[in-house]
Amino acid sequence: MGKFDGKVAFITGAARGQGRAHAIKFASEGANIIAVDICAPVESAPYDMGSKAEFDETAELVEKAGGKIVSRVADVRDLEAMTDVVNEGVGQFGRLDFIIGNAGVCTYGMLADMSEAQWNEMMDIDLTGVWKTVRAGVKHMIDAGNGGSIVLTSSTAGLRNLNEIGHYVAAKHGVTGLAKALANELAPHNIRVNSIHPSNCKTPMMTNSGVIKMFRPDLEQPTLDDALEGFASIHLLDTPWVLPEDVSNTVAHLCSDEARYTTGAAIPVDAGMLAK
């Protein structure tokens, strides 16, 4: 028996990292999964997005964990495609209980000379794409009348500034506000909405050369090992990062009955970063 037996979760950005960890965690607790990922490059990102092969592996891992899955390549910027995927998944599984708006990118640069294209790409994916994720699925939850839970992935950058990623800071602050607005709007339907705020998380979004260079600008070509002390320096606890599974444990808690009165909250998973 799992805490999510018979329930269904819609998860974006599921090819790898946090999205994959969420899918496996929810499947291990009895849920069926509707999953999307772009599986394609994002122009301004200095690292590769998840691949179709990785997305296929996520599907295999979900099934190995005991869940069924509808996995489709889709871009969170495309509301029609997202809605089609959710409709297909609900048609197969019969319901929708959880929406986890996880997909996002992190790119780098100074706001004073950033291109309009880079700014727009960030907002379209990390903020508007999160709204489109909710928009694509929430009517199923409202119409069913079963309540539910929505968890939106923000960041510690959704609660404070971090230098050289001002557009990301702006988008993630927007996600924090979006969660609070949706919590108010959806409370009459017993749908809870919360945001989560991870610090450094050991995924390609964090362990790529762009981020490493931010922590070790003194080196021409720093390695991940070169940057470990810098990664750890922002935390209270002795770790350079949290793991995707740490975030998934918090997401699962927020979607469970154990958190039945938690809504409109901004929950850090940050090894004490925001308290330091």
Q: Which residues are catalytic?
A: 168
Question: Would you tell me how many other CB atoms lie within 10 Å of the CB of residue 5?
Answer: 10
Q: Which are the contacts of 141, defined by CB distance < 8 A and separation ≥ 6?
A: 96, 97, 99, 147, 148, 189, 191
Nearest-angstrom CA–CA distance, 139 and 134 = 9
Q: Which are the contacts of 112, defined by CB distance < 8 A and separation ≥ 6?
A: none
User: Do residues 101 and 152 lie in contact, with contact meaning Cβ atoms separated by under 8 Å?
Assistant: yes
Sheet harboring 98-101: ordered strands across?
69-73, 32-37, 8-12, 98-101, 148-153, 191-198, 266-269
User: Do residues 153 and 198 lie in contact, with contact meaning Cβ atoms separated by under 8 Å?
Assistant: yes
User: Do residues 58 and 15 lie in contact, with contact meaning Cβ atoms separated by under 8 Å?
Assistant: yes
Please name which of 172, 198, 275, 272 lies closest in space to residue 232, comparing C-alpha atoms: 272
User: How many CA atoms within 13 Å lie on the side-chain side of 127?
Assistant: 19
Buried b (16+ CB within 10 A) or exposed e, 38-72: bbeebebbebebbeeebbeebbebbeebebbbbbb
